[in-house]
Amino acid sequence: MMKQPAMEWRPGFEGGTWFLRTETTVPQWVVQKCIAFMLKVQAARRLGLMPGDTRDDLDASIKALHAGNVKQWVAGPQMDGSGEIEVFRATQGTGKIITIGA
């Protein structure tokens, strides 16, 4: 069973975005399950809040979850962004310039 990845709400990023922090990219169905879980968490948090800025921000975060405003943040093996992450990797070249065409 996979542990629930950390999710972070950033209200100032592109009008409000959630970041799903993972070691590697995850399929969309996993993102959807994380959104469903966070909706439950945010609903529980809202119950104890009085009207005001904090509750307004929480409501905006819930709207962003419903809209699917979630980006994956691949944080690497240490989950802190300092690990070596290879999305693309080039092989060692020969140093020669190769022309294509005439």
pLDDT of residue 64: 93
Query: What would the pLDDT profile of 37-93 be if each residue is shown by its tens digit?
Result: 999 999 999 998 899 999 999 999 999 999 998 988 877 655 555 545 455 555 566
Radius of gyration of the chain (CA): 20
| Contacts of 4-7 spanning 24+ positions with Cβ under 8 A | 4/34, 4/37, 5/34, 6/79, 7/34, 7/38, 7/70
Identify the pLDDT of residue 46: 92
Q: Is 58 exposed, middle or buried (0-12, 13-18, 19+ CB in 10 A)?
A: middle
Q: 43 with 62: CB under 8 angstroms? A: yes
Yes or no: say if 82 and 76 are a contact pair by the CB < 8 Å rule.
yes
Give domain limits for the chain.
6-74
How far apart are alpha carbons 60 and 32 in whole angstroms?
A: 18
pLDDT band at 95 (very low <50, low <70, confident <90, very high): low
pLDDT (tens digit, 9 = 90+) per residue, 21-42? 887 788 889 889 999 999 999 9
Q: How confident is the model at residue 1 (pLDDT cuts 50, 70, 90)?
A: very low
pLDDT value for 3 = 67
* pLDDT score at 60: 93
β-sheet bridge partners, residue 9: 18
Contact by Cβ (8 Å): 16, 28: no
How much is the pLDDT for 47?
A: 92
